Amino acid sequence: EVQLLESGGGLVQPGGSLRLSCAASGFTFSNYAMSWVRQTAGKGLEWVSSISDSGGDTYYADSVKGRFTISRDNSKNTLYVQMNSLRAEDTALYYCVNIDWGYWGQGTLVTVSS
């Protein structure tokens, strides 16, 4: 059974940093690109970032470019996103997603507020 388990969310002040993790199991993690997608009440679903299977290629939404860094450790079957210079508009539920196969995690909530 495929599982994507996100962690690392929480409350952070504007300008702060947070690192989210996603532990994958049930499929050959190193064979697939992985992504982060976030969901807010006001803006629905928004793609945030993707990384190739090897980690050599990364892609970002304009809204997070220069502030977020996606990475992966294939030896640990884990996906990460380092989020810096956080803003109130980054408040959302962040999902780890295997877009190719349509697998979504349960999400981790990030709240940016003073």
Partner 1 sequence: DVVMTQSPLSLPVTLGQPASISCRSSQSLVYSDGNTYLNWFQQRPGQSPRRLIYKVSNRDSGVPARFSGSGSGTDFTLKISRVEAEDVGVYYCMQGSHWPPYTFGQGTKLEIK
Shortest Å, Cβ 114 to partner 1: 28
Write phi, then psi, for 99 (nearest 5 degrees).
Answer: -65, -35
What's the rounded Cα separation, in Å, for the pair 73 and 91?
26
Task: Decide if residue 53 touches partner 1 (CB under 8 A).
Answer: no
Helix (H, G, I), strand (E, B) or coil at 39: strand
> Would you give the binding string for partner 1 spanning residues 7-46, x where CB under 8 A is met?
----------------------------x-x------xxx
**Binding residues for partner 1 restricted to 59-78, rule: CB under 8 A:** 59-62
Structural contact between residues 33 and 24, judged by C-beta atoms closer than 8 angstroms: no
91 forms part of the interface with partner 1 (CB under 8 A): no
Total residues binding partner 1 (CB under 8 A): 18
